[in-house]
């Protein structure tokens, strides 16, 4: 097993781990989804959607396909666990109703530049159902010729025809769930996925000519050690993916009861988790990947890497993205949508979501209208999570305000982080150090107007 040398820029002492290992949002949105409220008037949300349509900004479409054959005990997604294949057929009918409902409010001339199938397991759908959904989308929207279409894939019940169908539906990017490749860890989290299954899926994806292949891994699972996780990374590197997303396991058993099976004494502690993250960074950057934002890795010529270099990288509900000027319209139970002014989220339970659409209603559950201050903080936190630096003059210019004056209190509050080596700064700029990057959520929390007093029992821990 590799260990970090005394001189490694990623060495973190235990005191820092203790100080900064607190619950905090992941900032895939600001304010985080925990702020969305049922009380937000639907009429107001709809008025904002109609105004948004006047802009004719490009669209990014998200489809939540919630079904999974079996529950992975670490899972934090909104899922419906079933072995009844016919469930997906009925769901497509309901999705069609939602598309028709929202279609009445969407300008058909808006170009779709991004499409994402997430879940759940999108490949729970039969290949012909994937083809059908692809046609439903093409019939209703104007897809851009440079469409980025990505899909989350679970190799375990996959056939080559699923991949063929995804290719026919226009998908050109795939993200494969692996999480951990060690058989003991897989058993402990109730997700058995032999290496051969992962390899077969990758071979089919490559043969179908997909442009990009991402692998999802998770650190912090039971029985994982730095050595076992390093082996997982080495094995997956042999399969030559284009990107990695390496997520910190989010332990939130009060929201996801199945996580109670993942006992604390079996899981690596915060210090070991940090060690795993540091090893991951050294291993993947050593293998030619660039470290993107807080949890992604991509090849030097990858569009994510280019966007990070050009400071145009974006963070949204699907992680990091290059499509900054597109509005996200989500379809399916629990999906979240986002325009510059509002967020809204669909009903999270399948029966309620289905009933609403069968009754001809908008299946929205919650919403949020951003204030001017929210927008300033959203942009600030987004730039921090993507660029890992602030150029005060540039941000002042972009946001039309005096950035250091607006955030005087927040910037002053960072003195301890500066002393701890998380940031470096001078009169005109702030830069996050290599150590600070491991704790980027903690730095972002200083710019969050809502997080104080809300952390416990809402968010997972930052390390």
Least separation in angstroms between CB 119 and ligand SF4: 5
| Sheet strands (E) in 66-219 | 67-68, 80-81, 111-119, 142-153, 173-179, 212-219
Burial of 360 (0-12, 13-18, 19+ CB in 10 A): exposed
Residue (70 or 396) nearer to ligand SF4, CB: 70
- Told to check if 220 binds ligand SF4 by CB under 6 A, we report no
Least separation in angstroms between CB 62 and ligand SF4: 15
In this chain, which stretch among 74-82, 349-357, 388-396, 406-414 interacts with ligand SF4, using CB under 6 A? 74-82
Residue (162 or 377) nearer to ligand SF4, CB: 162
> Quick one: which of 387, 406, 385, 411 has its CA closest to 396?
406
- Told to check if 154 binds ligand SF4 by CB under 6 A, we report yes
Residue (121 or 232) nearer to ligand SF4, CB: 121
Whether 280 and 219 have beta carbons less than 8 Å apart is answered as yes
Residue (67 or 229) nearer to ligand SF4, CB: 67
Least separation in angstroms between CB 8 and ligand SF4: 32
Q: Tokens for 162, please give them.
A: 């699923």
Helices (H), 238-302: 270-286
Least separation in angstroms between CB 395 and ligand SF4: 37
Q: What distances in angstroms separate CA 186 from CA 148, 196, 217, one per listed residue?
A: 32, 14, 12
Residue from 120, 226, 319, 330 in contact with ligand SF4 (CB under 6 A): 120
Least separation in angstroms between CB 84 and ligand SF4: 15
Least separation in angstroms between CB 175 and ligand SF4: 11
Q: What distances in angstroms separate CA 298 from CA 201, 204, 393, one per listed residue?
A: 20, 21, 29
In this chain, which stretch among 52-60, 118-126, 248-256, 420-428 interacts with ligand SF4, using CB under 6 A? 118-126
Q: Which of residues 32-71 bind ligand SF4 (CB under 6 A)?
A: 68, 71
Whether 159 and 128 have beta carbons less than 8 Å apart is answered as no
- Told to check if 177 binds ligand SF4 by CB under 6 A, we report yes
Provide the 3-class DSSP secondary structure of residue 119: strand
Residue (88 or 305) nearer to ligand SF4, CB: 88
In this chain, which stretch among 12-20, 117-125, 302-310, 356-364 interacts with ligand SF4, using CB under 6 A? 117-125
Q: What distances in angstroms separate CA 209 from CA 115, 160, 168, one per listed residue?
A: 18, 13, 11
Residue from 52, 60, 121, 345 in contact with ligand SF4 (CB under 6 A): 121
> Quick one: which of 95, 214, 195 has its CA closest to 153?
214
Residue from 24, 31, 119, 330 in contact with ligand SF4 (CB under 6 A): 119
Residue (77 or 306) nearer to ligand SF4, CB: 77
> Quick one: which of 204, 167, 179 has its CA closest to 76?
179
Least separation in angstroms between CB 78 and ligand SF4: 9
Tell me the C-alpha distance between 337 and 344, whole Å. Answer: 5
Residue from 65, 75, 279, 388 in contact with ligand SF4 (CB under 6 A): 75
Q: Which of residues 324-343 bind ligand SF4 (CB under 6 A)?
A: none
Q: 429-432 and 142-153 as β-strands: parallel, antiparallel, unpaired?
A: unpaired
Residue (154 or 242) nearer to ligand SF4, CB: 154
Residues in contact with ligand SF4, counted by CB under 6 A, come to a total of 11
Residue 375 neighbours by CB distance under 10 Å: 14
What distance lies between CA 49 and its chain's CA centroid? 23
Least separation in angstroms between CB 247 and ligand SF4: 11
Whether 267 and 251 have beta carbons less than 8 Å apart is answered as yes
- Told to check if 123 binds ligand SF4 by CB under 6 A, we report no
In this chain, which stretch among 12-20, 48-56, 109-117, 119-127 interacts with ligand SF4, using CB under 6 A? 119-127
Q: Which of residues 78-97 bind ligand SF4 (CB under 6 A)?
A: 79
- Sequence-separated (6 or more) residues with CB below 8 Å from residue 64: 78, 118, 119, 120, 330, 331, 332, 333, 334, 335, 346
In this chain, which stretch among 75-83, 87-95, 142-150, 264-272 interacts with ligand SF4, using CB under 6 A? 75-83
Positive or negative, the CA dihedral 40, 41, 44, 48 is positive
Residues binding ligand SF4 (CB under 6 A)? 68, 71-72, 75, 77, 79, 119-121, 154, 177
């Amino acid at each position: 097993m590799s260990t970090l040398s005394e001189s490694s820029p990623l060495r973190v002492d235990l005191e820092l781990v203790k100080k900064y290992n607190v619950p905090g949002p992941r900032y895939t949105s600001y304010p985080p989804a925990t702020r969305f409220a049922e009380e937000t008037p639907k009429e107001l949300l709809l008025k904002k959607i109609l105004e948004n349509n006047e802009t004719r900004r490009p669209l990014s479409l998200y489809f939540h396909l919630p079904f999974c054959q079996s529950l992975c005990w670490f899972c934090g997604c909104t899922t419906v666990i079933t072995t009844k294949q016919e469930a997906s057929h009925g769901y497509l009918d309901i999705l069609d109703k939602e598309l028709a409902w929202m279609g009445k409010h969407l300008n058909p001339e808006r170009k779709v530049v991004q499409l994402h199938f997430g879940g759940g397991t999108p490949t729970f759908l039969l290949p012909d159902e994937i083809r059908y959904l692809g046609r439903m989308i093409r019939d209703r929207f104007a897809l851009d010729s440079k469409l980025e279409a990505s899909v989350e894939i679970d190799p375990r019940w996959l056939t080559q025809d699923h991949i063929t169908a995804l290719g026919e539906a226009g998908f050109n990017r795939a993200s494969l769930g692996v999480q951990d490749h060690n058989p003991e860890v897989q058993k402990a989290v109730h997700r058995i996925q032999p290496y051969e299954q992962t390899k077969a899926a990758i071979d089919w994806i490559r043969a179908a000519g997909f442009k990009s292949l991402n692998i999802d891994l998770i650190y912090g699972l039971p029985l994982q050690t730095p050595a076992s996780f390093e082996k997982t990374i080495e094995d997956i590197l042999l399969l030559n993916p284009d990107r990695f997303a390496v997520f910190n396991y989010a332990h939130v058993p009060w929201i996801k009861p199945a996580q109670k099976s993942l006992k604390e004494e079996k899981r690596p502690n915060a210090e070991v988790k940090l060690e795993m993250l540091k090893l991951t960074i050294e291993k993947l950057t050593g293998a030619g990947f660039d470290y993107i934002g807080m949890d992604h890795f991509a090849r030097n010529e990858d569009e994510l890497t280019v966007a990070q270099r050009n400071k145009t990288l974006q963070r949204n509900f699907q992680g990091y993205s290059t499509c900054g000027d597109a509005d996200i319209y989500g379809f399916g139970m629990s999906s979240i949508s986002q325009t510059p002014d509002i967020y809204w989220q669909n009903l999270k339970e399948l029966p309620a979501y289905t009933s609403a659409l069968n009754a001809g209603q908008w299946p929205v559950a919650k919403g949020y209208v951003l204030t001017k201050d929210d927008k300033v903080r959203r942009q600030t936190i987004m730039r921090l999570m993507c660029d890992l630096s602030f150029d005060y003059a540039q941000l002042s210019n972009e946001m039309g305000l005096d950035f250091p004056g607006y955030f005087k209190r927040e910037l002053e509050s960072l003195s301890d982080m500066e002393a701890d080596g998380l940031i470096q700064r001078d009169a005109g700029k702030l830069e996050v150090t290599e150590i600070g990057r491991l704790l980027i959520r903690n730095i972002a929390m200083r710019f969050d107007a809502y997080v104080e007093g809300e952390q416990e029992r809402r968010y997972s821990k930052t390390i």
